[in-house]
């Protein structure tokens, strides 16, 4: 996995961005970081459709919440739906 470090001035904040050559590499990294913790994966429907076969190899379907793609779907109503899904999962 290749990575770069990004620094944002004037706040002196820096973080690494990792680039994966394969989607499975990314999913393996996410699974490793999550480990055995409870989680909810939030993704949009477009990404889910592209990667759903790979996603289901690493994550159970009840831990995935899809939202509509695009900026217009990023609303308080969407946040409420995400939180309701999280509450149902006892997160």
Under the banding of pLDDT at 50, 70 and 90, the label for residue 34 is: confident
Angle made by CA atoms 9, 6, 20, in degrees to the nearest 5:
160
Q: What is the pLDDT of residue 29?
A: 83
Token code pair at residue 62: 């009840």
The answer to whether residue 37 scores a pLDDT higher than 80 is: yes
Q: Which residues contact 73 (CB under 8 A, 6 or more apart)?
A: 44, 67
Q: What is the pLDDT of residue 1?
A: 58
Under the banding of pLDDT at 50, 70 and 90, the label for residue 58 is: confident
């Amino acid at each position: 996995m290749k990575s770069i470090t990004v620094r944002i001035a004037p706040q002196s904040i820096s973080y690494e961005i990792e680039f994966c050559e394969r989607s499975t590499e990314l999913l393996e990294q996410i699974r490793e970081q999550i480990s055995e913790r409870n989680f909810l994966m939030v993704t949009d429907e477009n990404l889910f459709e592209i990667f759903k076969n790979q996603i289901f190899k690493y994550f159970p379907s009840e831990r995935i919440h899809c939202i509509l793609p695009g900026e217009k779907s990023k609303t308080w109503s969407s946040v409420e739906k995400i939180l309701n899904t999280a509450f149902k999962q006892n997160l």
